[in-house]
Every structure is written in C-alpha cells, then in structure tokens.
Copies of this chain bind each other. A is one copy, B any other.
Amino acid sequence: MMTKDDVTMMILKAKKTAGLTWEGIAEKIDMSPVFTHSACVGMNAFPPAKAEELVKLLALPQEAAQVLAESPNKVFAQTVPTDPCIYRFYEIVGVYGPTLKALIHEKFGDGIMSAIDFEMSVTREPNPKGDRVKVEMSGKYLQYKAW
C-alpha cells in the first residue's frame, strides 16, 4: 500500500523537477500555501477534489489521490523542536502563552482558539530596516461549556 510518506517523496521530487514553488502549487489548485504544504507533507488531508487536481498537476499515480485525502496520523517527533526556525515559534508559545490566554479571556471569555477550525498565512512584509516575516492565524473561538 502506498503511504503518506511515499506520496510526500513523490511530490518533493516532482516539485524539484518541475521547478515549482509551494506558492505556485497552491495557486494552481486554488488553496492556501500553508494548507497545501501541510497536506503535501502528510500533516493534513486534502479534500478529494483538490487531491485529484494535485495528482494531475504533478502527474502522480492515481492511487496518490486517495492517500492524500486520508485523515493523517499527526506525529511530531520532537517535544522541543531543535531546528532554530521552528524553535523560535516554540519559544514564542513559551514566553507569550500566558499572555495569549489572558487576552483571549479578556476579549471573549473562558475559552480557547480552535486549532482545528483554523487557518494561517505567512507573508513577506517589506521594511526598510529589513523585511519581516508576518504570520497570521485565525481560529474559531470555542467557549468552555458549563453543564
């Protein structure tokens, strides 16, 4: 059986050969770059129609479409990520986590931001002192139920 890992390998190879970018792929299948990359590396499931489009775009075997649409088992192996680019986000959660909680509480009440009904983008913000990485997250507010 073809696995999510197998398909990721095929995508990376096809992408390299075709000289595509994640933004380019995302645009062609009309999805966001964040979700597209995430589903291509097996951390999300494509809607079936999008999986079909991607398979056509990259000329992957037909079975790959089914695999890309399967619900993945999300495993992140490192409790504390070591890559500096990812660690900085872990650090932000550590340093600002209580602040995020306090402000969500103040603006909404006793609840959380959903990580499921959630979307995110990464953009390049031009800046004379050096361009900046802008990350925008939007998640549905979920109120704790009291019963």
Taken together as a complex, chains A and B put the C-alpha atoms of A99 and B71 apart, in Å, by 13
Q: Check A137 for interface membership: any CB of B closer than 8 A.
A: yes
**A94's contact among B22, B82, B135, by CB below 8 Å, is which?**
B82
Within 8 A of B (CB), among A82-113: 82-113
CB-based contact A41/B84 at 8 Å: no
CB contacts (< 8 Å) of A75 on chain B: these are 78, 82-83
CB-based contact B45/A110 at 8 Å: yes
Taken together as a complex, chains A and B put the C-alpha atoms of A89 and B113 apart, in Å, by 9
Binary flags per residue of A5-19, CB closer than 8 Å to B gives 1, else 0: 000010011001000
Residue in B closest to A91 when the chains form the complex, CB atoms: B115
CB contacts (< 8 Å) of A76 on chain B: these are 82, 94-95, 97
What is the minimal beta-carbon distance from A109 to any residue of chain B, in angstroms? 8
CB contacts (< 8 Å) of A124 on chain B: these are 107-108, 141
Taken together as a complex, chains A and B put the C-alpha atoms of A1 and B14 apart, in Å, by 10
A interface residues with partner B (beta carbon < 8 Å): 1, 9, 12-13, 16, 21-23, 31-35, 37-39, 41, 43-47, 50, 71, 73-76, 78-120, 122-125, 127, 129-147
- What 6 A-B pairs have minimum CB-CB distances, sorted nearest first? A76-B94, A113-B133, A86-B97, A88-B115, A85-B112, A71-B110
